[in-house]
């Protein structure tokens, strides 16, 4: 049974989440095909064809796929599933994948399984509920299995060898333009830093920093020194220290870097849900009873305004 | 324009849930229940639209057991005008809820549906998107700003990497993220008033849709806890541990 992975991209580059979804797709058995729908997205098609494990790239281009909005994309996937008889449809559980996959499932009249962290075979999964405090086994007999997969739970698929052959590319016809929604603007933070969801080291700040200026003054040099991505607790985002896309937690980004440095973060359940699968957790907080110390491998009870600059200077 | 707001009764967000000893599910005996926090934000947004004369009526709807009446009363106390309970004691999965809501929407013909982006019990994050698909209308999930302009809306969404703003024709489905607004507290007089607002109970079976569960939930378990770490005395010891013991820098 073939699997269709839907590529997330910006018409220039494939998003990291898609490579993780390809790895998850391989666990379902059968061939893995990658749908690249977009507009002038040749570079993404080339990149997609070189992802190891992809047996075919389906290329669909139309101006109304440029922004990858859910309505037209879901209608396209519905027609592709009916035409090519895919047994499984996957996307990474990024904000984009979470927006899209349930719409596809409803059009196909099947249940969807969100945020899959383990695949034991087709129709047999595990996923977190209650903010990651419970893991539940889920079984599905649906004719088409529609899944979003948590990117931190599956490795990123690499590229085929330099001298290896890319996957064949098949051009498919565009679906309808439903005209239900239009993108007016995107305000995407541009940064030289690694992407938060994919970084090997994350430095994250919370309310203990006091304000946005302190956040930048204290954490930026440490992140620069470590080559780390910057994150934040919900409290710090709500207080306006940093934009929403910094948020790590149940309703923000789920991260699992090799090293997570939590600075001035108390460790509310919803924050822990977003980072507790990190390799090594360091917590710096002046409150010795902060719950973050219960999950930290190394805890330093100290004034962050002294400890963090000292740490930066020592590294 | 009518605004329809689906609300769900869930375990209160402050409760740390426990798995039953036979791993068959989560122990909900005697646990405090509350309106799903994202749904509360959705109710607030709808009530503000009516207060600003952009909506004519706010209808809240919940699918679940009779106990969900309590959740609907909470929404009425926040300012919703009337409530519909789609009553069922069976397990309702997101696709079933979306179908029930579609049937309610067919009857009520709302100009706008505002849902919470996800329920904090099953964390599925599906119902709003599924409802939009079944209604054949546009969707704007994870909304942090909503502007109504005649027969269209502009919605700013929280996406990976930043924000995006969409224009949608009405009717449409919007799902609320945390920063859409700060919900008000229901005042005592409003709680009293809410008791007199209309609450209609409809048996789910009367809506004529298939609500049988499609997914089977098996073993529930708590993830392996992280091993308690150590406290270090100072920055020098921390750096030493990271370099020599954890070898991560």
- The DSSP code sequence of B109-137 is --SEEEEES--TTT----HHHHHHHHHT-
Q: What pLDDT does A141 receive?
A: 97
Q: What superfamily does domain A196-314 belong to in CATH?
A: TPP-binding domain (3.40.50.1220)
Q: How confident is the model at residue A280 (pLDDT cuts 50, 70, 90)?
A: very high
Specify the 3-state DSSP secondary structure of B161.
Answer: coil
What number is the average pLDDT over the span A57-67?
Answer: 98
Q: How far is residue B233 from each of residues A205, A283, B25, measured CA to CA in Å? A: 21, 13, 42
Q: How far is residue A37 from each of residues A33, B139, B203, measured CA to CA in Å? A: 13, 19, 43
Per-residue pLDDT reduced to its tens digit, B180-205: 999 999 999 999 999 999 999 999 99
The yes-or-no verdict on residue A178 having pLDDT over 80 is: yes
Binding-site members of A are 207, 233-234, 247-251, 264-271, 285
Distance from CA of B183 to the nearest CA of A (A): 14
Contact flag B249-A301 (C-beta cutoff 8 Å): no
Cβ-Cβ contacts under 8 Å for A259 (sequence gap 6 or more): A200, A201, A202, A226, A228, A278, A279, A280, A282, B242, B246, B248, B249
Measured distance CA(B192)–CA(B75) in Å, rounded: 13
The yes-or-no verdict on residue A227 having pLDDT over 90 is: yes
The yes-or-no verdict on residue A190 having pLDDT over 80 is: no
Q: How confident is the model at residue A45 (pLDDT cuts 50, 70, 90)?
A: very high
The yes-or-no verdict on residue B227 having pLDDT over 90 is: no
Domain with CATH 3.40.50.620 in chain A: 3-171
Q: What pLDDT does B189 receive?
A: 97
- CA B157 to mean position of chain CA atoms: 16
Residue ranges of domains in chain B? 2-245
Mean pLDDT of chain A: 96
- State both tokens at B57: 């009526």
What number is the average pLDDT over the span A2-6?
Answer: 98
Please name the residue of chain A whose CA is at the shortest distance from the CA of residue B232: A300
Residues of A in contact with B219 (CB under 8 A): 136-137
Q: How confident is the model at residue B51 (pLDDT cuts 50, 70, 90)?
A: very high
Domain with CATH 3.40.50.1220 in chain A: 196-314
Residues of A in contact with B120 (CB under 8 A): 130-131, 250
What number is the average pLDDT over the span A215-243?
Answer: 96
Please report the ipTM that was assigned to this predicted complex. Answer: 0.96
> What dotted CATH number matches B2-245?
3.40.50.620
- Tell me which residue of A266, A64, A230, A23 sits closest to B138, measured CA to CA: A64
| Residue bearing the bigger pLDDT, A96 or A270 | A96
Specify the 3-state DSSP secondary structure of A123.
Answer: coil
Residues of B in contact with A96 (CB under 8 A): 159-160
Contact flag B223-A250 (C-beta cutoff 8 Å): no
Report the relative pairing of strands A169-171 and A145-149 from DSSP bridges.
unpaired
Q: What pLDDT does A168 receive?
A: 98
> What dotted CATH number matches A3-171?
3.40.50.620
The yes-or-no verdict on residue A283 having pLDDT over 80 is: yes
Share of chain B above pLDDT 90, in %: 94
């Amino acid at each position: 049974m073939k699997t269709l992975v839907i590529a997330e991209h910006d018409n220039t580059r494939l998003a990291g989440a898609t490579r993780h979804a390809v790895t998850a797709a391989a666990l379902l058995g059968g061939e893995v095909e990658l749908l690249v729908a977009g507009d002038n997205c040749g570079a993404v098609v080339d990149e997609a064809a070189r992802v190891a494990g992809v047996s075919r790239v389906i290329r669909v281009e139309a101006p109304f796929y440029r922004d990858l909005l859910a309505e037209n994309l879901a209608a396209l996937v519905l027609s592709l599933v009916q035409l090519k008889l895919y047994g499984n449809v996957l996307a990474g559980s990024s904000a984009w994948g979470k927006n899209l996959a349930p719409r596809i499932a409803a059009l196909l009249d099947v249940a969807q399984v969100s945020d899959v962290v383990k695949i034991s075979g087709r129709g047999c999964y595990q996923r977190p509920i209650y903010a990651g405090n419970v893991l539940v086994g889920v079984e599905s007999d649906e004719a088409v299995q529609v899944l979003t997969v948590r990117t931190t739970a599956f490795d990123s698929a690499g590229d085929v060898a330099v001298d290896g052959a890319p996957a064949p590319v098949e051009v498919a016809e565009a679906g309808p333009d439903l005209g239900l929604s239009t993108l007016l603007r995107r305000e995407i933070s541009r940064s030289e830093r690694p992407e938060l969801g994919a970084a090997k080291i994350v430095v994250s700040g919370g309310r203990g920093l006091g304000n946005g200026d302190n956040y930048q003054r204290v954490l930026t040099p440490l992140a620069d020194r470590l080559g780390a991505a910057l994150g934040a607790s919900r409290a710090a985002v709500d207080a306006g220290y940093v934009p929403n896309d910094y948020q790590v937690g149940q309703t923000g980004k789920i991260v699992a870097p090799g090293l997570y440095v939590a600075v001035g973060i108390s460790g509310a359940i919803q924050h822990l849900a977003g980072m507790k699968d990190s390799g090594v957790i360091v917590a710096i907080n002046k409150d010795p009873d902060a719950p973050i110390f219960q999950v930290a491998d190394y805890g330093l009870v100290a004034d962050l305004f002294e400890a963090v600059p000292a740490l930066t200077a020592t590294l | 324009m009518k605004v329809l707001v689906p609300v769900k009764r869930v375990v209160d967000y402050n409760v740390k849930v426990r798995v039953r000893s036979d791993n068959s599910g989560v122990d909900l005996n005697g646990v405090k229940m509350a309106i799903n926090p994202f749904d509360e934000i959705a109710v607030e947004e709808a009530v503000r639209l009516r207060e600003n004369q952009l909506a004519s009526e706010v209808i809240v709807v919940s699918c679940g057991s009779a106990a969900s009446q309590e959740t609907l009363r909470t929404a009425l106390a926040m300012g919703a005008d009337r409530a519909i309970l789609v009553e069922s004691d069976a397990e309702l999965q997101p696709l079933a809820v979306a179908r029930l809501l579609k049937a309610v929407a067919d009857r009520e013909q709302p100009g706008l549906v505002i849902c919470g982006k996800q329920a904090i019990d099953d964390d599925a994050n599906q119902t709003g998107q599924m409802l939009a698909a079944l209604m054949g209308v546009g969707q704007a999930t994870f909304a942090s700003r909503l502007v109504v302009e005649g027969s269209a809306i502009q919605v700013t969404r929280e996406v990976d990497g930043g924000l995006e703003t969409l224009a949608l024709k009405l009717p449409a489905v919007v799902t609320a993220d945390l920063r859409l607004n700060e919900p008000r507290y229901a005042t005592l007089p409003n709680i009293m008033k809410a008791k007199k607002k209309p609450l209609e109970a409809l048996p789910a079976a009367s809506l004529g849709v298939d609500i049988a569960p499609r997914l089977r939930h098996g073993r529930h378990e708590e993830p392996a806890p992280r091993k308690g770490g150590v406290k270090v005395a100072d920055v020098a010891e921390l750096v030493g541990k990271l370099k020599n013991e954890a070898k991560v820098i």
